[in-house]
């Protein structure tokens, strides 16, 4: 379940909107509870071909989980934008 985007920048980053990133992350909600767990985030990172998925999933959860309940909830799905840009090879646009 690779990240699909309209274009790729000269440095190899996929370009997508925040909404596209949110929809892509929701595909990894395998138990359909409306939240992204650390394991589900790990699977998303692996799908990008990313290395160090265990470390990055902990880092991503820490950066996105504002209420510290161990999940990225629906209202926190905007939070992984910085993480995606730094660690998933994604450039977020606002068009």
pLDDT in tens, 34-70: 999 999 999 988 888 778 888 989 998 998 999 999 9
Number of domains present in the structure of the chain = 1
More confident residue, 56 or 1: 56
Q: What is the pLDDT of residue 72?
A: 93
Residue 33, φ and ψ in degrees, nearest 5:
-95, 5
Is residue 2, in this structure, part of any structural domain at all? no
Is residue 26, in this structure, part of any structural domain at all? yes
- CA proximity to 28, closest of 11, 8, 52, 53: 53
Of all residues in the chain, what percent carry a pLDDT higher than 90?
Answer: 31
Distance of CA 91 to the CA centre of its chain: 12
The alpha helices in 1-95, defined as continuous H runs, are 18-26, 38-47, 53-64, 81-87
Is residue 79, in this structure, part of any structural domain at all? yes
CATH number of domain containing 45: 1.10.238.10
Structural domain including 24 reads: 7-93
């Amino acid at each position: 379940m690779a990240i699909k985007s309209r274009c790729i920048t000269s440095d190899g980053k996929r370009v997508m909107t925040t909404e596209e990133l949110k929809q892509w992350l929701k595909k990894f909600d395998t138990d359909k509870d409306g939240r992204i767990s650390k394991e589900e985030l790990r699977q998303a990172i692996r799908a990008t071909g990313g290395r160090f998925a265990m470390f990055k999933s902990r880092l991503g959860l820490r950066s996105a989980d504002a209420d510290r309940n161990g999940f990225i909830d629906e209202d926190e799905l905007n939070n992984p934008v910085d993480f995606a840009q730094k660690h998933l090879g994604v450039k977020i646009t606002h068009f």
